[in-house]
A = this chain, B = another copy of it.
């Protein structure tokens, strides 16, 4: 055996016979009944309790990400539940597995863009419009869509964005990341000659940046928020199932096409 090179250490929590400690706090004595779930999530991610103003904005971001109706993720969770109703945890997990580069995971894209442009919020670059112009030119040259702007459905604006930015402003988080995100959207609209409003993804990435949350953690917020939404969908699926109907329709249509092709149609 090659020996222990590294200790197994965690700051998340531990238990003894009479105590349960989470992030340095006594769970029953200091947390239960004193903080709600959203602030517990902040504590888990950041290792400290949020201020009231941080709590308002952080909870708003998380609430935004909980529920989006019949997304591919919700459909996957419901289809999985229909095959293994004894394992609702696995149905939620199936739904989470799809939160990658296309959906939800995208919040990290806009946060990363902003945090790479402004590594230190206390010393933002003086000329944000120039920074924005550089970003837009760079993404355009690579032929890639700029994260955080544009939406296939929500036009001319994404209704979540002004509300989140208003909450940020009311709570003192109207800083350089939100300013830069707005500059990027304006510049992109000018360069591409079309409306490219900041979508919820962009608003959340900017607000997370203002809260000092690393872009690497942004996807995580979407993951746990959506876990709540997926539990909701599975509860509904118990009482008002749609998975079998989705399955039957897909299977029937595919069979019809297969038989038609077989018969030379």
Contacts and interface: CB of A to CB of B under 8 A. Distances in A.
A165 to B, nearest CB: 11
A41 to B, nearest CB: 5
A220 B21 CA distance: 23
A31 interface: yes
A13 interface: yes
A103 B17 CA distance: 18
A233 to B, nearest CB: 6
A137 B77 CA distance: 37
Interface string A207-234: 0000000001101110111011111111
A68 interface: yes
A82 B235 CA distance: 24
Given A32-B160, A216-B235, 14 more contacts: A1-B249, A10-B240, A12-B229, A14-B258, A33-B163, A33-B170, A37-B66, A40-B63, A80-B98, A81-B98, A83-B103, A88-B219, A88-B220, A89-B104
Contacts of A245: 4-6, 8
Q: Which 3 pairs show the lowest CB-CB distances between chains A and B?
A: A84-B100, A37-B38, A83-B98
A102 B236 CA distance: 19
Interface of A: 1-2, 4-23, 27-29, 31-33, 35-41, 44-45, 55-56, 59-60, 62-64, 66-76, 79-105, 153-155, 159-160, 162-164, 166-167, 170, 216-217, 219-221, 223-225, 227-236, 238, 240, 242-259
A253 B16 CA distance: 13
Contacts of A36: 36-39, 55, 59, 63
Nearest to A94: B94
Q: Is the interface of A mostly helix, strand, loop or mixed?
A: helix
A82 B223 CA distance: 16
Given A159-B19, A243-B72, A97 B86 contact: no
A250 B68 CA distance: 13
B6 A69 contact: no
A247 B72 contact: yes
